[in-house]
Amino acid sequence: MQKPNIILTKTIHNNVEIIKISFTKNDDIQQRLKNGIKELRWSKTHSSWYAPLNTCPYVTIYNLLNDIAYVDYKNFIGSTSLQNVPITKLPKPIVKPTTHLGELNAEHTQKINEFKNWLQSKRYSQSTIGTYIDSLTTFLRYFYLKPITEIDNHDLINFNNQYIIANKFSASYQNQIVNAVKLFFNTVQNKKLHPELIHRPKRPKVLPNVLSKQEVKLILNALTNIKHRAMLSLIYACGLRCGELIKLKPQQLDVNRKLVIIIQAKGRKDRIVPLSDKILNLINEYLVIYKPITYLFEGQTQGQMYDERSLQQVLKNSLSKTNINKPVTLHWLRHSYATHLLENGTDLRYIQEILGHSSSRTTEIYTHVSNKSIQKIISPFDYL
């Protein structure tokens, strides 16, 4: 059976420094504390047991409960209350990976709802709101025994080490939670956590996955259904995101100017993308056959948006008819579009505008996968 967790926190109660002993209700722990600590008291203010710091060093509590619980005492490393305790008797810090998340209390739930209302008032997208709320909920469930105003920067570091890193969650997931926590604590008053001191994790530099022009041609030619071919072709021909494609409406195609107008895409940005004669001919052929009503590409029911998972399955079926053994996704087509534009000599600034990137640094990553200049490099091996 898994041991329960106990969190020891130093705080002030009635103008006296105390050790707050936080744990989920447990009769064995409670009885052990009552028998072993004469100064033990219950605080309605903190909703926890506590003992005076000057008469009860954390080592006493650790030795009392270590055999039946995991005692988290990292807040006390370096505490002046340990001056009279021989160093040989101090226990080693416990770094215990945990997946246990407690239930939110009333304060946490209220603050999360307030944060959600704040995000909505700022007109964040529903996707972003959902991501931030899920991330913040995970973080606060980890500190379910601690008031929000008592959470500090060291707690966030401990959370990253004991929950994110110890459980081998990705750096992107860690970054997602850090972003949510940072934004949340910017809106919370009387806090101990200072958002300006929070550092995001260093992200690994991963190159985008790119197909050759021949591979793209094989994928598109493998599609016999004109609707499926038009959808994947438009993603590649315009460098669209999957979500942008399935939300397209017929009126967003400006046939006379040979443009497609992307409305309120990622980052709530509009942009225009050029349409070639070849893709226009394919789209016109599709429109004559299918005659969509609301969306350019509709599902089995007219007027309803095409399902994103169905589109992924279309790509999977196409790949099965080729000899391409790469784990290709729909986003690979967008990466390939950008890289092939660069290799054809298109200015990087135009590619940035077409893709809808806020920063040129995002677009510059395609220079690392373009073979235009790399293939011109002659290996010294050839001179041997």
What would the pLDDT profile of 87-121 be if each residue is shown by its tens digit? 334 444 444 445 567 888 888 889 999 999 999 99
| Burial 215-236, CB ≥16 within 10 A → b, else e | bbebbbebbeebebbbbbbbbb
What would the pLDDT profile of 149-169 be if each residue is shown by its tens digit? 888 888 888 888 888 888 888
The pLDDT of residue 373 = 64
- Specify the 3-state DSSP secondary structure of 353: helix
What would the pLDDT profile of 322-339 be if each residue is shown by its tens digit? 988 888 999 999 899 888
The whole-angstrom distance between residue 49's C-alpha and the CA centroid of its chain comes to 36
Range 66-74 average pLDDT? 78
Q: What is the DSSP string of 53-115?
A: TTT--HHHHHHHHTTTSEEE-GGGTT-GGGTTS-GGGSPPPP-----------HHHHHHHHHH
Tell me if the pTM is above 0.85.
Answer: no
379 pLDDT band, cuts 50/70/90, is: low
| Cβ 53 vs Cβ 17: under 8 Å | yes
Taken in order of first residue, the domains within the chain and their CATH numbers are 5-89 (no CATH), 106-197 (1.10.150.130), 213-373 (1.10.443.10)
Comparing CA positions, the residue from 117, 337, 355 lying closest to residue 211 is 337
Q: List active site positions.
A: 241, 266, 331, 334, 357, 366
| Cβ 208 vs Cβ 366: under 8 Å | yes
Range 363-368 average pLDDT? 76
